[in-house]
A and B are shown apart, each in its own frame.
Chain A
């Protein structure tokens, strides 16, 4: 739209907002401004909502409850289309966007959350922004951005059994490093990606930020169009939209600033052992010798086999792994078994929860001794009070194993939903293939 000193003014097609965005809303109000384009904005509360009920009054503290209520007030005062906590469509913003057809190929989509990279799975350019940028979008529907570098990651071959999209992305992060894709947008390509469902692509794009990437995306294809068809906010004139979307994929001879390739046939189920997502290894490995700080924090000794490390708690959820396919994969392992440690399942949205209940998955989890919660970010970031305790070891399907991420002193091991259930039913990090 405009250019100035190396930055380009980008128009934002979709701005997703949530209950963590109150600084931006407060600053906007301080200027005497309202949301300029409610018709391009959509809200759902997720970071602070309680998962034990749909009542904000059940938040563990008054401050947390106030966050959910402030969200609601801000949405109403600005006439922003949104859902409230009790709405079946409520959920984690990165689950809700694709589910509602808010996320479409070719769009520029932003949200004040780093895991906005998720939406790239549908061929959108989607990236996380801070509160100041958030305020800029609310006020102007635009954002100043500089061109970024491009990185193509090609993954080819058939995935072995029990190797999920989560294992693929953990292997990618381990390979390129937590800062390996800084300043880049990733395009995931190759036969493995083409064969993935949209939900698997969402899991993969979700963790692009854990490799430092600004965004991650997959070129739209028939899988994309089939997924979007009939969703509430999908185009009414769908064929016309598809015609445009088909012009979006990279040209066959497109040049990227960097290329990385990976053989999916050689992958194994992965777990992280340290305090960065790049500390990911196949479950058959042992704890490495460094960095010492990560070993100390995690309470691990070099040479210890990952398989067999005792866990205290299990979390299945987050914008990485809380969709219906994740819950099906988890339930398949949980069926007929019993959790040996406290375990919670937090669906990504009210609609995912409803679908899971229609399939009887809730009963499978409950019979196996798992708690069946309501939708929200929950223990991935702990802002609603769902937290681990110091030194507690948690098998988690979320995206970050940072120090203190799941509670002060809590120790996180990242893995796929099936692997997390395997850990729950054995009480140890376990190779799900051996169950």
Chain B
């Protein structure tokens, strides 16, 4: 499952609204589509109907990195949101803050969520609007983003950075620790005799 990410360069699009929820990123009615069919066309499916939406812009429509605003990806835990970004070719979203679940879901799907401070994100969006077509490089190896307004450091949790850089399969990793989990389960059961197993 794990997709490798080391460094990615692409045209970036600015998107100003705060609190963009995952219902906007992908409406619920598309979540029952099998993953293999591809989710790219569902990205911002209904918001896209607005003519001035960034995906309809001649240049920003080619973007594969999004520069967004605070609390991006809030709300529902639907992993269809990063599926849609991924299948539309996006590999990074930059914002001052993210919904916690969306943030985690991104990293499981080869998308790097980059936190940059609010003022910097605002300036970056303005610069992209002034000069559409500006590219951004997200270098996970160096923990650095290179943008039209400068180079900035960022960090993602080191554990997930390692998974992304090496393309480690997290489930495989955890299953390699099964003896430790089993030992824990034995001790835990002994110390909580009141718990009733469900099956």
Contacts and interface: CB of A to CB of B under 8 A. Distances in A.
Interface string A210-247: 10101000000000000000000101111011001000
B74 A179 contact: yes
A40 B195 CA distance: 10
B177 A2 contact: yes
Interface in B12-71: 17-19, 21, 23-24, 27-29, 31-32, 34-35, 46-47, 70-71
Given A2-B180, A131-B79, A179 B18 contact: yes
Interface string A349-369: 000000000000000000000
Contacts of A40: 197-198
Contacts of B28: 381-383, 405
B33 to A, nearest CB: 8
A130 B101 contact: yes
Contact of A236 (B158, B180, B194): B194
Interface stretch (B102-110, B122-130, B139-147): B102-110
A432 interface: no
A146 interface: yes
A408 B46 contact: yes
Given A7-B157, A130-B101, A400 B21 contact: yes
Contacts of B24: 402-404
A278 interface: yes
Given A41-B198, A383-B31, A136 B170 contact: yes
Interface in A30-66: 31, 38-42, 48, 63-64, 66
Interface in B151-184: 157-162, 170-171, 174-175, 177-178, 180-181, 184
Contact of A114 (B34, B47, B76, B185): B76
A244 B192 contact: yes
B77 A128 contact: yes
B99 interface: yes
Interface string B113-143: 0000000000000000000000000000000
B148 interface: no
Given A139-B171, A276-B19, A183 B197 contact: no
A419 B76 CA distance: 25
Contacts of B101: 114, 128-130
Interface string A287-308: 0000001000000000000000
Contacts of A178: 19, 71, 74
B23 A130 contact: no
Contact of B171 (A130, A140, A236): A140
Contacts of B75: 114, 209-210, 400, 402
Contacts of A67: 32
A4 interface: yes
B70 A179 contact: yes
A210 B99 CA distance: 10
Contact of A400 (B23, B160, B194): B23
B198 A42 contact: yes
A130 B77 contact: yes
B121 to A, nearest CB: 13
Interface string A109-143: 00011100000000000001111110110011110
B199 A129 contact: no
B149 interface: no
Most chain B CB atoms below 10 A, which of A13, A132, A133, A237: A132
A135 to B, nearest CB: 7
Contacts of B194: 235-238, 240-241, 244
A409 to B, nearest CB: 8
Nearest to B2: A132
A38 B199 contact: yes
B158 A48 contact: no
Most chain A CB atoms below 10 A, which of B47, B99, B162, B196: B196
A5 interface: yes
A144 B32 contact: no
A26 interface: yes
B31 A20 contact: yes
Nearest to A22: B32
A91 B162 CA distance: 40
B71 A64 contact: no
Contact of B159 (A42, A128, A136, A144): A144
B181 A140 contact: yes
Nearest to A385: B29
B193 A240 contact: yes
Nearest to A241: B194
B92 interface: no
A27 interface: yes
Contact of B105 (A4, A11, A104, A130): A130
A237 B193 contact: yes
Given A129-B77, A146-B157, A403 B196 contact: no
A49 to B, nearest CB: 13
Contacts of B90: none
Given A132-B109, A383-B31, A404-B46, 17 more contacts: A1-B184, A2-B180, A4-B159, A5-B157, A7-B157, A11-B188, A40-B198, A48-B32, A114-B77, A129-B77, A139-B174, A140-B174, A140-B178, A144-B170, A146-B157, A241-B194, A278-B19
7 contacts: A129-B104, A132-B79, A140-B178, A144-B170, A179-B19, A237-B194, A241-B195
Q: Which 9 A-B pairs have the closest CB atoms?
A: A179-B71, A132-B108, A235-B194, A39-B197, A130-B105, A7-B159, A5-B159, A5-B158, A130-B79
Interface of A: 1-2, 4-7, 9, 11, 13, 20, 22-23, 26-27, 31, 38-42, 48, 63-64, 66-67, 79-81, 102, 104, 112-114, 128-133, 135-136, 139-142, 144, 146, 178-179, 182-183, 209-210, 212, 214, 233, 235-238, 240-241, 244, 276, 278, 293, 381-383, 400, 402-405, 408
